[in-house]
A and B are shown apart, each in its own frame.
Chain A
Amino acid sequence: AQKVTQAQTEISVVEKEDVTLDCVYETRDTTYYLFWYKQPPSGELVFLIRRNSFDEQNEISGRYSWNFQKSTSSFNFTITASQVVDSAVYFCALRSYNTDKLIFGTGTRLQVFP
């Protein structure tokens, strides 16, 4: 069975703090894809990143960075120097290579206070 766990329901930080959102996944597949999406208060789901299971290289995009560790089945997301505009619900998702279905975690609500 496939499953995505985001244990942190809600995180509150003050602007400029670094924050890490955890994502742990379960799958029996050897080939799969991991995703992060951002859902701001407006409700739209914004794609942030896709990572293939065979590519464990970490990625950095501006203030965002992702740490993929197959050994611990984790795909964590770090925001450096957080800003109020980062306030949103962040979803981690998993997809097997042989299906189109995205399995979403329950999301982590991030609140960044000024």
Chain B
Amino acid sequence: SAVISQKPSRDICQRGTSLTIQCQVDSQVTMMFWYRQQPGQSLTLIATANQGSEATYESGFVIDKFPISRPNLTFSTLTVSNLSPEDSSIYLCSVVFGTSYNEQFFGPGTRLTVL
């Protein structure tokens, strides 16, 4: 089975700085997504990472705050900009292999704490 990795696994950042999270898959995927899981909460979709074009953001999430890149079929980055303590969450990438109707598989997550 494919391996989905995320870097960093966790980080502690200062208010006002930015953090870039990487998601790498060891085989080509059809789709890539970024989710946020706030402490003790469920998962919320931030955006769909589109290869070679701008990401598609969900309501309440904007590109200036969460810029996303996806230069190829196996890699994507999510940046969380101008950090505040409210951004403290787990950020997870997920991928779909093959047909877009297949299940999403998730990376191990990046646990971000903002001081």
Contacts and interface: CB of A to CB of B under 8 A. Distances in A.
Pair from one complex: yes
A55 interface: no
Interface string A97-114: 100111011110000000
Nearest to A105: B42
Interface residues of A, number: 19
Nearest to A45: B106
B103 A44 contact: no
A45 B31 CA distance: 17
Task: Describe B's contact surface by its main secondary structure.
Answer: strand
Contacts, number: 47
A64 interface: no
A106 to B, nearest CB: 5
Interface of B: 31, 33, 41-45, 48, 58, 90, 92, 94, 96, 100-109, 111
25 contacts: A33-B103, A35-B104, A37-B106, A43-B108, A44-B106, A44-B107, A45-B43, A45-B94, A45-B106, A45-B109, A46-B106, A50-B102, A50-B103, A91-B43, A100-B33, A100-B48, A100-B96, A101-B45, A101-B58, A102-B43, A102-B45, A102-B94, A104-B43, A106-B42, A107-B42
Given A37-B106, A44-B109, A102-B43, 18 more contacts: A33-B101, A33-B103, A35-B104, A43-B90, A43-B109, A43-B111, A45-B94, A46-B106, A47-B104, A47-B106, A91-B43, A97-B101, A100-B33, A100-B48, A102-B104, A104-B42, A104-B43, A105-B42
Interface of A: 33, 35, 37, 42-47, 50, 91, 97, 100-102, 104-107
